[in-house]
Amino acid sequence: MPAESGSVLLVGVGGQGVVLSSAVAADAARRSGFDVKQSEVHGMSQRGGVVSSHLRYGPLVHSPLIGAGEADAVVALEWNEGVRAIPALRPGGTLIVSLDRIPPPSAFVDRHGGAVAYPAVAPDTLRRTVPDVRAADATSVAAAAGNARAMNSVLLGILSPLLPFPAEAWDGAIAANVPRAALEANRAAFAAGRALRFPAAPAPGTGRPRRRAPAEPPSVGSVDIVDAWCKGEDCAICVRACPEYVLGFEPDARPVRAVRPDACTACMLCEILCPDFAITVRRAAVPAGPSLVAAETT
Amino acid sequence: MSSIAASSSSIAVLLSGNEAIAQGAREAGVGVAAGYPGTPSTEILEALVRSDPDREVYVEWSSNEKVAIDVALGAAVGGTRALTTMKHVGLNVASDTFMTAAYTGARAGLVVVSADDPGMHSSQNEQDNRFLARFAGVPLLEPSDSAEARDLTIAAFELAERFDTPVLLRTTTRIAHARGLVTLGERRAPSRAGFVRDAAKYVMLPGFARRRRVVLLERLEALRRHAEETPLNRVELRDPAVGVVTSGIAYQYVREALPEASVLKLGLTHPLPEALVRDFCARVGRVLVIEELDPYLEEQLRALGVAAEGKRFFPRAGELSPDGVRAGLRAAGLVPAGTPRTPAPAPATAARPPVLCPGCPHVVPFLALRQLGAIVTGDIGCYTLAASPPLSAMDSCVAMGSSIGMAMGLVRSGGASGPVVATIGDSTLLHAGIPALADAVANDTPLTVLVLDNGTTAMTGGQSHPGAGATIRGDGAPRVDIAALCRALGARSVTVVDPYDVAATYRALEKAIASPGLSVVITDRPCVVAPVKIRDTPFTVAAERCIACQLCMNLGCPSIVWADERYEGRHKVAIDETTCTGCAVCAQVCPTDAIALVTEGAPAHAG
């Protein structure tokens, strides 16, 4: 990383502490005598969305934003966000990434096939694209240092040798920005991160990586209704219970109909709950086709 | 963040644009500040409170931006410098006063901050509020970083008093939420010039207003002359081949992308310094206007007869960026087109749209509304996220308070295929929903209004409002009782329900929809995130009882994930105990009672 100026992109999930981490690094730059600008977005993204903070330092900094492919380093507090931020790196840049994975609810939408839309945690694979990947089980490192929640300070510790900021600038910045109650834990986590050596292949089983489940046939069903036994809209237990909104009523209100038949996953709730035994769910064997979302990528 | 709380000193500290505006206002001796929270403006008043432990300044969250600007105007008429802050769309709400405050002026400085959101990070539109300054006829200042945010705030108060006019200080996201070094000056105690009766100036009866209209136009001419001389507008002559006219954040991108170009850097962008612009453009070869959003400067330059180029090359939609400026310069032939960087290709990633938090009390009402087949008009707040899967239970969201009026129109259109339900948060109801609710009552509209009362302005980070029972400083305060308010407006059917009680919420909504005329359902549960984090004993899944039906996944709760283990080919579920707030909603919807409290659940299911 150039000594006189640089750009660091910090990314993570709303609530992880991206903004605080970036404030610490920016303050360390200031304490080292650099001009510095830092930019992030507040508001809706803090509701579990992607949070990113741009940090730039140098003798005179104009833009608070880093151009695409111009970041010297990316610091990612979460695996998926680290992978997403790779295009922000300049050639030869460093990806510092936590092995923590926070799959968003939208990763679990393939109800038939069960494919999880989340990139596999595989630092070695990433090194084909980004030679300098510094992946760490930051949460475990922080826990060992005293407090798992100081995970972001572990990552700042890993970042620190890459930046021309003296140790006292980092320490002063941590002391000035981290809440007092968490200060010692964050100092210890920072030191533990700074002591890590790279490249190091992560130990197997760290960072809660997920084994790829063996391929399963998709779970698909179809619903048979005995019209004469269905009480219709006055009951509607099956309509309320169906997790896939398969069942509904035509305007005549009786009997119940499969209004989204393709969505049935054969969970059997309607059959089990129908007080009149009017529903039979049949599990269908369907030919394996492309699933609704990409399978776990490697 | 802590830096602004420290006493002023001559060293440079890192401040966000919002913190710098608060600092500038304190150095200018602001006496009253009022606003309504809205991204990216919210932190200005919060920083002002932090900077003022001695409570020299009166600061309030107003119930809406119109009230806020009225409070500020009244304070300025009363002789103390006044600040009002809002997001860009907030100025639409305040514009009724804003347009006429331009006629009255005030005794002490009145500064209106509009924080615009190009790119719509957290907004429903990306209107360019520079046009509102021109529309109203008030001076417009545009800082280009935190240091200027402080400087221009001080300059705004001086300008406001010198010319007896409100001043619009317009920022954008990359000013408001970017940190930069700011050298602090001394804070001043609030000015107290006192109120002086002047009906011809402050009572805008037509006879008086006609005279003030002429005063406004004369003032604009004086401001134009001032704009020619002020150091806020400066010429940076470098290579004369290309001259760039720019303002705000775009200036910073231009300085990096085209460091040798001559630049006319405008800090005071209304009224435009016509002679300065003409002179600059005559001294350079090609004239480019580089500005975020609309061609506000470009059109005025063209009207001056300058052959300026701008939106031909630079985007009008979305946030400007260093990349966007470089792309425009390439298109204009000013930087070589060859070898643009090819970023490293990344593996596929999971999309991560914002979601409702674990334990959010807004989830169950929307789950019920979807199952009840309601047509749902939405409003501005976290609950707008209920429009996304898996809840997918909102059909419109336009502007603060629009849900109730739009629902009335939908009912009267005769086109609604199901029951019509307006959903509105507590802060939004008190902001702009009350007149609409009164209208719905008075016109006997068959409609259900669902008030999602979480006791705070959640989306912007938990700011207080008149129903919250606290002030911006955290002091206890009288609170508006929302159920009593609805009854006082004339609603006869008002039901308060706990949205963590799934069955009760379903029943309340079912009953309200079935009842004739207007009905109100209020869900009453505090936000679990702000202003205080609420955590209860987390829940866990007894895997042996889970039949992988996925019913709980329909809540969209980020704490519920797929387990590796499957049942009949489908994933069983698991709960992340570190983020589960213990709301118990998933345990209520689970058809096999597989979800139980962590402490009780484990032994209970062991056998």
Domain range summary for chain B, segments of one domain joined by +: 3-229, 233-331, 363-524, 539-606
**A220-225/A35-40 β-pairing:** unpaired
pLDDT digit string (tens) for B218-251?
A: 999 999 999 999 999 999 999 999 999 999 999 9
- What CATH number was assigned to the domain covering residues A6-195? 3.40.920.10
Q: Which fold has domain B233-331?
A: Rossmann fold (3.40.50)
Q: Token pair of B299, please?
A: 């059109």
Q: pLDDT tens digit string along A196-226? A: 998 645 444 444 444 455 567 889 999 999 9
Contact B350 A89 (CB under 8 A): no
Q: How far is B240 from chain A (nearest CA, A)?
A: 21
ipTM of the complex, rounded to two decimals: 0.93
On the question of pLDDT at B604 being above 50, the answer is: no
Instruction: Name the percent of chain B lying above pLDDT 90.
Output: 94
Confidence of residue B11 (pLDDT cuts 50, 70, 90): confident
pLDDT in tens, B322-371: 999 999 999 999 998 866 666 667 789 999 999 999 999 999 999 999 99
Amino acid at B460: T
Give the tens place of pLDDT for each residue, A102-130.
999 999 999 999 999 999 999 988 888 89
* CB contacts, 8 Å: B173 with chain A: 41
Asked if pLDDT for residue B4 goes beyond 50, the answer is no
Q: Which residues neighbour A28 within 8 Å (Cβ) at sequence distance 6 or greater?
A: A160, A163, A165, A169, A170, A172, A173
Q: Which fold has domain A220-284?
A: Alpha-Beta Plaits (3.30.70)
B6 DSSP assignment: S
Q: Quick check: A72 contacting B, CB < 8 Å?
A: no
The mean per-residue pLDDT over the stretch B48-67 comes to 98
The topology (CATH level 3) of B363-524 is: Rossmann fold (3.40.50)
pLDDT band at A286 (very low <50, low <70, confident <90, very high): low
Q: Does B446 touch chain A (CB under 8 A)?
A: no
Question: What's the residue count for chain B?
Answer: 607
The A residues from 79 to 138 touching B (CB cutoff 8 Å) are: 80-81, 83-91, 102-109, 111, 114, 116-119, 125-126, 129-130
Q: How far apart are CA A199 and CA A239, in angstroms?
A: 55
Q: Tokens at residue A165, please?
A: 């900021």
Gap between the Cα atoms of A278 and B153, Å rounded = 72
Cβ atoms of B254 and B219 closer than 8 Å:
no
Please report, for chain A, the start and end positions of each structural domain, with discontinuous segments joined by +: 6-195, 220-284
CA dist A20 and B241 (Å) reads: 44
**According to the model, what pLDDT value does residue B178 have?**
96
Per the CB < 8 Å rule, is B343 touching A68?
yes
Query: Can you give the pLDDT at residue B599?
Result: 78
Strand pairing report for B420-425 and B447-453 = parallel
For residues B577 and B538, the answer to whether their CB atoms sit within 8 Å is: yes
pLDDT digits (tens, 9 = 90+) for A136-187: 999 999 999 999 999 999 999 999 999 999 999 999 999 999 999 999 999 9
Closest-CA residue in chain A for B43?
A42
**Which residues in chain B are closer than 8 Å to A34, comparing Cβ atoms?**
none
* Nearest-by-CA chain A residue for B17: A39
Cβ pair A243:B553 closer than 8 A = yes
Q: Which of B14, B342, B352 sits opposite A13 (nearest CB)?
A: B352
Evaluate if residue B405 carries a pLDDT over 70. yes
Tell me which residue in A62, A177, A245 faces B255 most closely, judged by beta carbons: A62
Name which CATH class applies to B3-229: alpha beta
- Please tell me which residue of chain B has the smallest CA distance to A243: B551
Extended strands (E) in A6-165: 6-13, 35-40, 50-58, 71-76, 89-98, 132-136
- Put simply, whether B179 touches A (Cβ < 8 Å) is yes
Banded model confidence at residue A298, pLDDT cuts 50, 70, 90: very low
| Residue B599 DSSP class | H
- Summarised one tens digit per residue, pLDDT across range A6-44 is 999 999 998 899 999 999 999 999 999 999 999 987 767
Q: What is the mean pLDDT of residues A258-265?
A: 95
Is the domain covering B539-606 a CATH 3.30.70 domain? yes
Q: Does the structure show a pLDDT above 60 at A70?
A: yes
Cα distance from A226 to chain B (closest Cα, Å)?
23
Q: What mean pLDDT do residues B153-182 have?
A: 98
Q: What is the dihedral of CA B208, B210, B214, B216, to 10 degrees?
A: 70
The distance of A243 to chain B (nearest Cα, Å) reads: 5
pLDDT number for residue B378: 98
Residue of A111, A114, A98 whose CA lies nearest to A21: A98
- pLDDT score at B7: 45
Please say if the pLDDT value at position B276 is more than 50.
yes
Cis peptide before A87 (omega within 30 of 0): no
Asked whether the domain spanning B539-606 has the same topology as the one spanning B233-331, the reply is no
Residue to mutate among B126, B349, B388, with most A CBs inside 10 A, is B349
What percentage of chain B has pLDDT greater than the value 70? 96
pLDDT at A52 over 50: yes
In the stretch 460-519 of chain B, residues with CB closer than 8 A to chain A read 460-461
Using the beta-carbon criterion (under 8 Å), do A27 and B14 form an inter-chain contact?
yes
| Residue whose structure tokens are 């334990």 | B359
Alpha helices in B243-294, H assignment, sequence order: 249-257, 274-283
